Each structure stands twice: as structure tokens, then as C-alpha cells.
Structure 1
Amino acid sequence: MGKTSKRYTDEYKNTIVELFNRGKTYSELNSEYGIPKTTMRQWVLKNKNKKDGTEAKEQNIKGILKKNVMLQEENEILKKALSIFAKEK
């Protein structure tokens, strides 16, 4: 007969990952919940990759916002300069 695999909900996976992040070891979690260590490692790595991508996106957004503010200031300076030079004619 074929081997059947258990299906875990995302909420359950996130709970296990959170417990690991708070200091529980894979061995402790395995003995308490009966989840294979390799499965938990995959969940933790997947969660870490998600966070890394999110942080990179947040930093990218912050950089874009800073550049936007700088460009708006430069635009205002150019508008003022244009109005000064337009009056001189």
C-alpha cells in the first residue's frame, strides 16, 4: 500500500514555527506534536524566506518614498527658478 501523508493547516504550521522561533527545539516539538523534524525544518525555512522577501520589499518601498520626496523638492526648486528667469525677460 502507498504511504499517506498528513495534511497540516497553515495556522497549525505557523504555530509550530512560532514555537520554534521562541526557543523550542525540533526534538521537543517532535515529542510533543509528533511531527517529523524534517517537516518542521521545511516550514521554518519557508517562513524565513517569506520574511526575508517582505523585509526587502519594505526597504525598497522606503527607498522609493525617500527618492520621491527628494524629487518633489527638486521639482519645487526648479519651478521657483523658472519663475525667476521668466520675470527677467
Structure 2
Amino acid sequence: MSKRRTFTEEFKTMIAELVASGQSVKEVSREYSLSETAVRNWSKKKAPIKTEEGTISLEEINRIRKENARLKEENEILKKAMAIFTKKQIQI
């Protein structure tokens, strides 16, 4: 059984930039001994998406979504805590 290789984010970004600059997925995957699927996936995640305000990558969108979910959860916890403290103050 072969050991699964791991790659740094910098390496993945470099590979995605090579594809974005015009090299084919097949060329890049062959040159760096990577699967075409990995190169395609990294390119997709790192590719800039044009918006009205500029550009953003799918990776950045996913990071923002995670942060948004975390903040929503924290907000719900604070709301529940406020409700508990408000009830306790009314009873005093």
C-alpha cells in the first residue's frame, strides 16, 4: 500500500497558476507527477471568480462561508445567554 502524498497550499496555488497561465492540465500533471484530477480540482478551487466588487476564489468563498457559520453559531449562543441572564435579573 502506498503512502498518500500531501501538498502545501503554496504548491497547490503554484500548480493552479500554471494551468491558469495556459499550460494544459495534462502537461502540468505529467511534469509534476500528479493526477489530472488533483490538478483540475486545485485549479478549480484557486481560479478567480469575477464579481461586481472584483475577483474571489472558490477557496476564499468556502473560507467565508465557514466563518459566517461560526459567527452565526456564536450569535445564537449569545442570544441564549442573554435570555438566561434577563430571566435571572427579573427574578431578583
TM-score (norm 2): 0.50
Deviations for 1:23-43, whole angstroms, at most 9, x for unmatched residues? 111111122100100001110
1:5 paired residue number: 4
Pairing of 1:10-89 with structure 2 (within 5 A): 10-48=9-47, 51-52=48-49, 55-56=50-51, 58=53
CA deviation after TM superposition for structure 1 residue 17, in Å:
0.5
Give the whole-Å Cα distance in 2 for the aligned partners of 1:27 and 1:44: 12
Question: Can you give the 5+ residue segments of structure 2 that lack an aligned partner in the other structure?
Answer: 55-92
Higher helix proportion: 1
TM-score (norm 1): 0.52
- Bigger Rg, which one: 1
Report sequence identity in percent.
30
Deviations for 1:56-86, whole angstroms, at most 9, x for unmatched residues? 3726xxxxxxxxxxxxxxxxxxxxxxxxxxx
- Count, aligned residues: 54
CA deviation after TM superposition for structure 1 residue 13, in Å:
0.6
Over aligned residue pairs, what C-alpha RMSD do you find? 1.9
Q: Which structure 1 residue ranges, 4+ long, deviate > 4 Å from structure 2?
A: none
Question: Can you give the 5+ residue segments of structure 1 that lack an aligned partner in the other structure?
Answer: 60-89
